[in-house]
Chains A and B, each alone.
Chain A
């Protein structure tokens, strides 16, 4: 396949690989069945099912898109349309620790960009990239709704508030 622009969704690795089978473990399957009972349509279970899939595998792979579509009776295109609309669904694998720095206005004026730039420099990555050892992914995120404790860095699900360069460095040493 000819080289495509990196933003072009029709990359070779975007097509599902039939040799990679994905399926929920029994506990996740049970959770999925429970989700279905909470909504009047199967389609409405899409967002929660994608969250569940991301908890299982860390990201939403092309195989996952097809699998979730088959569970809910939706086309892969519909599922991919939803996955790509929402920020929180990772379309690429992310590191063990996903460091997301809020840089919106209240965080910006309390020097969030310093932390963001420091993280990129220190870990040697560009925004959105993952370190080679697969430990950290660094990204910028929009307002996290914690402006009184700005600047805020979200690590996976957790908020770390009132951050500073020193506290960030300290946190990095704790995240093994």
Chain B
């Protein structure tokens, strides 16, 4: 499969963030067109395109828009989730930093379709300071042209965007955590139902969409649902950004029609494994996704195929681990991340993620017990599905899959009190570890 340039069409142009460059490429025509359509027709078009959310869950976007009640007592809000914090994921950053007007145009169309109030928010993670300055500049440019503000494009529709910076919390990428955070609270996810489409931010119906999802929308409006569906396979349609990192020769963001083969992506497009070593494991969809063994990677990277393989496409953050990586150490690092980022609301996740980290650390240090591998599975069973949001479920993904698929390596640590020969531990064990 050959790479394509749709979502990334502008990123290599000089001065790609400027509105003039964006307009030269036909920018904002789709927004103009959408504002002349009936709202329901825009929603139907997005439904027909079979676009699924690119943030991780893969929920059909048009269906989500259709959930927004027509005559809610409070204003409807559109929020863009630019809190890209899933380890291994860096696709939204490319759009934010290189083609911000594509995102703004997508937001205008989405806002029109769902009947948004005149203010929408881009919730960008605090660490993307440069990205937020690019977005602020782009918003100001769009305001100056009358594309944002009152009566945009002379349509009578008032719509503006505020860039809201987060402050370093992975959980704010969860949609109700994001909503809480935007309201000025600790980013602790809410009980669902009510779902955000009914009661979300500031008490109004709320649609939260990922950056890449919104970036797809202008193309659906300008080129049609059939064109969009010509990429990928039924139910897994459209162009898709894949992020590849870890032990590959050419890491980066790659755009393909949805469903590029994982093996082909790693070996042909990314040049194979660093140092021509053997592959050990691939995490196909960000840190939360269960890992795959080398014999499992001959599959298309789309929502359904990965789910069938027992993993998930998630945010399409592909982390490649070669034969020299100690699996226990790698999983420890991911568990440390989840323990750090657990918001602390639900006991199974708050306590469980810390215990997973501690047990993995003790195995790595050669202090593991023979029953530890099973203990990890047992504890995971007491975390998964037992908390308000999906962070607990995400935390157990790498643990369960690695114990099931690399049990030998776990047992080796226990019996030999050391890593498997030929694998590396990347950290010094005497370094103090910061408290969560």
Residues of A within 8 A of B (CB): 7, 38-41, 43-48, 50-51, 72, 74, 81-82, 85-89, 103-106, 108-114, 116-117, 120, 126-128, 139-150, 154, 157-159
Chain B residues near A141: list those with CB within 8 A.
127
B127→A147 contact, CB < 8 A: no
B434→A140 contact, CB < 8 A: yes
Partner of A82, one of B162, B170, B184, B426: B184
A108→B426 contact, CB < 8 A: yes
With A143-B88, A144-B127, A157-B130 as contacts: A104 and B168 at CB distance below 8 Å: no
Within 8 A of A (CB), among B328-348: 329-330, 333-334, 337, 340-341, 343
A7→B435 contact, CB < 8 A: yes
Chain B residues near A103: list those with CB within 8 A.
333, 427
CA distance A158 to B131 in the complex (A): 11
Partner of B168, one of A86, A111, A126: A86
Partner of A127, one of B125, B187, B434: B434
With A7-B435, A85-B187 as contacts: A109 and B426 at CB distance below 8 Å: yes
* A-B residue pairs in contact (CB < 8 Å), sample of 13: A47-B165, A51-B126, A85-B187, A86-B187, A88-B168, A104-B87, A104-B337, A106-B251, A109-B426, A114-B426, A145-B89, A147-B89, A148-B253
CA distance A44 to B92 in the complex (A): 24
B232 at the interface (CB under 8 A from A): no
B181 at the interface (CB under 8 A from A): yes
With A51-B165, A104-B87, A142-B85 as contacts: A148 and B245 at CB distance below 8 Å: yes
A46 to B, closest residue via Cβ: B184
Chain B residues near A51: list those with CB within 8 A.
126, 165, 167
CA distance A95 to B325 in the complex (A): 34
B169 at the interface (CB under 8 A from A): yes
A109→B130 contact, CB < 8 A: no
B20 at the interface (CB under 8 A from A): no
B183→A143 contact, CB < 8 A: no
B244→A148 contact, CB < 8 A: yes
A88-B168, A89-B168, A105-B246 provided; 20 other pairs, C-beta below 8 A?
A: A38-B162, A40-B202, A43-B184, A44-B184, A47-B181, A50-B167, A51-B167, A82-B185, A86-B166, A104-B334, A105-B87, A105-B283, A116-B431, A128-B434, A140-B434, A143-B86, A143-B337, A146-B90, A148-B244, A150-B245
B34 at the interface (CB under 8 A from A): no
CA distance A158 to B125 in the complex (A): 14
A147→B167 contact, CB < 8 A: no
B89 to A, closest residue via Cβ: A145
B130→A148 contact, CB < 8 A: no
B405 at the interface (CB under 8 A from A): no
Residues of B within 8 A of A (CB): 84-90, 92-93, 119, 125-130, 162, 164-170, 181-187, 202, 243-247, 251-253, 283, 287, 317, 319, 321-322, 325, 329-330, 333-334, 337, 340-341, 343, 426-428, 431-435
Chain A residues near B129: list those with CB within 8 A.
157-158
Q: Give the distance to chain B from A63, nearest Cβ to Cβ, in Å.
A: 19
A109→B164 contact, CB < 8 A: no
CA distance A7 to B434 in the complex (A): 12
B88→A87 contact, CB < 8 A: no
A44→B183 contact, CB < 8 A: yes
Partner of B431, one of A88, A117, A142: A117
Point out which of B182, B185, B283, B340 has the most chain A C-beta atoms below 10 A from its C-beta: B185
Chain A residues near B84: list those with CB within 8 A.
145
CA distance A142 to B83 in the complex (A): 13
A142→B340 contact, CB < 8 A: yes
Q: Give the distance to chain B from A79, nearest Cβ to Cβ, in Å.
A: 9
Chain A residues near B325: list those with CB within 8 A.
109
Chain A residues near B341: list those with CB within 8 A.
142
B319→A147 contact, CB < 8 A: yes
Q: Give the distance to chain B from A103, nearest Cβ to Cβ, in Å.
A: 7
Chain A residues near B283: list those with CB within 8 A.
105
CA distance A89 to B317 in the complex (A): 27
B434→A147 contact, CB < 8 A: no
A79 to B, closest residue via Cβ: B184
With A88-B127, A104-B87, A120-B431 as contacts: A81 and B184 at CB distance below 8 Å: no
CA distance A126 to B273 in the complex (A): 35
B166→A47 contact, CB < 8 A: yes
Q: Give the distance to chain A from B150, nearest Cβ to Cβ, in Å.
A: 14
CA distance A105 to B427 in the complex (A): 12
With A105-B287, A108-B333, A109-B247 as contacts: A86 and B90 at CB distance below 8 Å: no
B427→A87 contact, CB < 8 A: no
Chain B residues near A145: list those with CB within 8 A.
84-85, 89-90, 92-93, 125, 127-128
Chain A residues near B334: list those with CB within 8 A.
104-105
